[in-house]
Every structure is written in structure tokens, then in C-alpha cells.
Structure 1
Amino acid sequence: MPIIHVNIIEGRTDQQKELLIHEITEAVNRAINAPKESVRVLISDVPAQHWGIGGQSAKTLGR
């Protein structure tokens, strides 16, 4: 059972997350022929102030 864990900066809509889950599942199915029913996708929303890019938080960088 493939388990895909995705970390993203918070702020995406539920609809965007649903699409992400769908597209990742499709990609895993195509790439390794895993049955879609066995694919698990976990999304972690990370606050922008907890996401570092080049020594600064994403919040400081306006992301």
C-alpha cells in the first residue's frame, strides 16, 4: 500500500486538496501500477511561519 505524505504551506482550499489527492493517486497508479484503492495520500498543512526558505520563513517572504 503506497503512502504518500505531502507537506504544503497552509492556505489551499479543500477543493485544491481534493484535486491534489486525486492527481497524486492517478500518478502513483500510472507509475507503479498500484490499485487506486490502495493508495493513501496524507496532506500536512504547515503554517507559513514554520516553513523555511533560504534562511527566512515563508511568512516573512510573503508566501
Structure 2
Amino acid sequence: MPYVNIRITREGVTAAQKAELIEGATRLLETVLGKHRATTFVIVDEVETDNWGVGGEPVTTLRAAAKAARGEI
């Protein structure tokens, strides 16, 4: 019984995109490992950017800095 956990930042991912992730992960396990679709669990967790850090900085801060560098603020 495969369990896949996909964690992404909460930044406007649509229900259709999440459904595509779920289908794709399920298909991959079915194709590569012969796992049954009916017993494959795929969970998509969306994490606020304040709660996700990269290189010692919250993603919220990194995104704001990138926008400022591009002159988008």
C-alpha cells in the first residue's frame, strides 16, 4: 500500500493541478512498481510560505526579495 506525500507551498495551486499530481504519482507507482491504484494513497499538503524555509530564510522573505530585485514592488 504505497503512500506518497507531496508538500508544496500554498501559492495558488489549482484543484486541477493537484488532481494531476495525484494521478501522475499514482500512474508512476503503477507503471514502475506494479502497485495497484486502489491501494495507492497520495496526499498533497500545502504549506504557507511563512512556514517553509530555504537557506535560513522563510520563502515569504525570499519571494519578496526576488520581486524587489525584478522591480515588481
TM-based fold match above 0.5: yes
List alignment gaps of at least 5 residues for structure 1.
Answer: none
Partner of residue 24, structure 1: 25
Deviation at 1:30, TM superposition (A): 1.2
Equivalent-residue separation in structure 1 for 2:41 and 2:49 (angstroms):
25
Partner of residue 5, structure 2: 5
List alignment gaps of at least 5 residues for structure 2.
Answer: 65-73
Deviation at 1:6, TM superposition (A): 1.1
What are the within-5 Å matches in structure 2 for residues 17-56 of structure 1? Answer: 17-56=18-57
Q: Does 1:14 align with 2:15?
A: yes
Aligned CA RMSD, in angstroms, stands at 1.2
Query: Structure 1 vs Structure 2: percent identity of aligned residues?
Result: 27
Higher percent of residues as helix: 2
Is the radius of gyration larger for structure 1 or structure 2? 2
Give the AA of the match of 1:8: I
Deviation at 1:35, TM superposition (A): 1.0
Q: Which runs of 4+ in 1 moved over 3 A?
A: none
Q: Give the total of aligned pairs.
A: 63
Equivalent-residue separation in structure 2 for 1:62 and 1:23 (angstroms):
28
